[in-house]
């Protein structure tokens, strides 16, 4: 046990290398909102409260480095347990080598080191093989179940993703590709319970903070923005405003350019004609209902979702959202709230590479993106090779199935409900490289066995 945690801690530190390189935990435009929601204990618009509370508790109110350490530890722990599950006799040095390749050649270290819940979209996928197919001791199973629950609860899209993955696994199991015995059915049910409990938990947490049990107060806003990007909103208003007096009919010819402007630009967006997002819920939901019940506009949206999902699979470049001169501005939410609750870390934040450090050296993802692209290409080729020659390790086969469902499901969900952002796919596509490394190690073990096998001569 002690030996295991020694390797997990080493893996954690390796995952933190991109953060050490940056000089401070990485931020995103939403980071300030998460920090303020946790310390102010207020439900943020369109986001769960739990991740903000996690930042507050894990940082101990002392340092955001603590939060990043915990985040990297969670991922390092799950990777170690997964390696242990796939290769019970595997050398622990191989785990460290794999984590090193992932940390320096993919986005895992960057997303583990960012004060955002993005890394948990892949963390929840790491939980599934362990809970569904592994033979875990009770305490370990309980801990991994808690990590699954937490990973789902920190972002609304994760609830949809986890439900999608479990549904597909169940359907595939019906054709005996994944055989379920009685014990595994019970594990399947326990995973469902862990995920479903997220809803009442989030509702109760919101009620304790704002006396409302509503889970997502901004779903109508984000979906309206998605309809705008898909070109469906403008088409619908042009077709229907002569018969119906929808709230956006008066501005149908001057709608914002895209969803970002619609959601966040208070000067040009009609959304800010309302005092609060919740005030727009009824009129916006009326428009959304009209779109979703119109065969023409529903088909337009469905077509856009399909093409966008295919495109999202190829949006894997790192750096999306990491580089912006805005982060160092006094009015930017990340800097403002770091200065508010971690004033002793503001200087370190401003001197990080993300904010162009004292020597004028910022972040450049050109080289790592080339490495990442090569690794992703090799990963796809290895999957084609494995599908042709077969995979003898049944545990690895099951894990690959879960990861591929998750990667495809993430592309479909984010492209349909959000937009085409490299960040949304790059945060999870590193699992393809993990598959590549696992297949390489599996083939190497086979080679070693064949090499040591006695040769028969006539």
Is 358 a residue whose pLDDT tops 80? no
- For 114, the 3-state DSSP assignment is strand
For the ranges 110-114, 280-284, 352-356, 362-366, the maximum mean pLDDT occurs at 110-114
Is residue 341's pLDDT more than 80?
yes
Mean pLDDT value across the chain? 90
- Range with top average pLDDT, 12-21, 36-45, 448-457: 12-21
Residue 144's contacts (CB-CB under 8 Å, 6 or more residues apart) are 78, 81, 127, 130, 131, 136
Backbone CA torsion sign across 68, 72, 75, 78? negative
Stronger pLDDT, 263 or 74, i.e. the higher one: 74
| Structure confidence at residue 387 (pLDDT) | 84
Higher pLDDT, 331 or 419: 331
pLDDT of residue 182: 47
pLDDT digits (tens, 9 = 90+) for 360-379: 788 999 999 999 999 999 99
pLDDT digits (tens, 9 = 90+) for 186-217: 788 889 999 999 999 999 999 998 877 778 87
**This prediction's pTM:** 0.92
Residue 366 phi, psi (nearest 5): -60, -50
170: exposed, middle or buried (C-beta count within 10 Å: 0-12, 13-18, 19+)? Answer: middle
Q: How far apart are CA 86 and CA 434, in angstroms?
A: 12
Highest mean pLDDT among 21-35, 177-191, 267-281: 21-35
In the predicted structure, residue 267 carries a pLDDT above the cut 90: no
Average pLDDT over residues 250-268: 87
Q: What is the pLDDT of residue 72?
A: 97
Q: Are 98 and 434 in contact (CB under 8 A)?
A: yes
Residue 291 to residue 118: CA distance in whole angstroms:
30
Q: What is the arithmetic mean of pLDDT over 57-77? A: 97
Containing 200, the helix (H) or strand (E) segment is helix 198-210
pLDDT tens digit string along 17-62? 999 999 999 999 999 999 999 999 998 888 899 999 999 999 999 9
Q: How far apart are CA 109 and CA 69, in angstroms?
A: 11
- Percent of the chain topping pLDDT 70: 96
């Amino acid at each position: 046990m002690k030996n295991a945690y020694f390797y997990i801690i080493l893996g954690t530190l390796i995952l933190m290398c991109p953060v050490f390189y940056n000089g401070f935990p990485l931020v995103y435009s939403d980071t300030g909102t998460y920090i303020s929601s946790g310390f102010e204990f207020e439900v943020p618009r369109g986001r769960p409260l739990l991740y903000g509370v996690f930042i507050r508790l894990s940082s101990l109110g002392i340092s955001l480095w603590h939060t990043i350490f915990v985040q990297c530890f969670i991922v390092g722990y799950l990777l170690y347990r997964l390696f242990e599950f796939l290769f019970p006799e595997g050398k622990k040095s191989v785990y460290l080598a794999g984590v090193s390749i992932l940390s320096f050649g993919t986005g895992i270290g960057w997303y583990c080191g960012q004060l955002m819940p993005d890394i948990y979209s892949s963390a929840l996928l790491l939980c599934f093989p362990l809970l569904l197919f592994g033979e875990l001791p009770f305490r370990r199973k309980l801990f991994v179940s808690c990590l699954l629950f937490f990973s789902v609860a920190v972002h609304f899209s994760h609830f949809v993703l986890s439900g999608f993955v479990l549904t597909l696994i169940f359907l595939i199991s019906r054709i005996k590709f994944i055989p379920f015995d009685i014990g595994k059915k019970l594990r399947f049910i326990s995973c469902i319970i862990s995920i479903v409990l997220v809803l009442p938990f989030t509702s109760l947490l919101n009620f304790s903070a704002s006396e409302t049990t509503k889970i997502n107060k901004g779903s109508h806003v984000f979906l309206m923005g998605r309809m705008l990007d898909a070109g469906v909103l403008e088409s619908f208003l042009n077709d229907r405003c002569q018969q119906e007096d929808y709230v956006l009919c008066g501005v149908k010819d001057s709608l914002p350019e895209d969803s970002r402007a619609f959601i966040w630009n208070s000067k040009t967006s009609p959304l800010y004609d309302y005092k609060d997002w919740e005030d727009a819920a009824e009129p916006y939901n009326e428009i959304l209902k009209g779109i979703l019940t119109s065969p023409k506009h529903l088909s337009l949206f469905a077509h856009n979702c399909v093409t966008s999902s295919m495109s999202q699979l190829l949006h894997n470049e790192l750096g999306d959202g990491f580089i912006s001169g805005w982060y160092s501005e006094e009015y930017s939410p990340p800097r403002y709230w770091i200065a508010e609750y971690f004033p002793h870390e503001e200087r370190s934040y401003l001197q990080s590479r993300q904010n162009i450090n004292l020597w004028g050296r910022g972040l450049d993802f050109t080289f790592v993106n080339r490495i990442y692209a090569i690794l992703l290409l090799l990963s796809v080729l290895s999957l084609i090779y494995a599908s042709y020659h077969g995979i003898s390790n049944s545990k690895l086969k099951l894990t690959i199935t879960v990861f591929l469902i998750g990667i495809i499901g993430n592309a479909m969900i984010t492209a349909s409900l959000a937009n085409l952002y490299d960040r949304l796919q790059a945060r999870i596509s590193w699992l393809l490289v993990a598959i590549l490394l696992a297949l390489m190690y599996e083939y190497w073990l086979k080679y070693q066995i064949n090499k040591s096998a006695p040769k028969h001569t006539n």
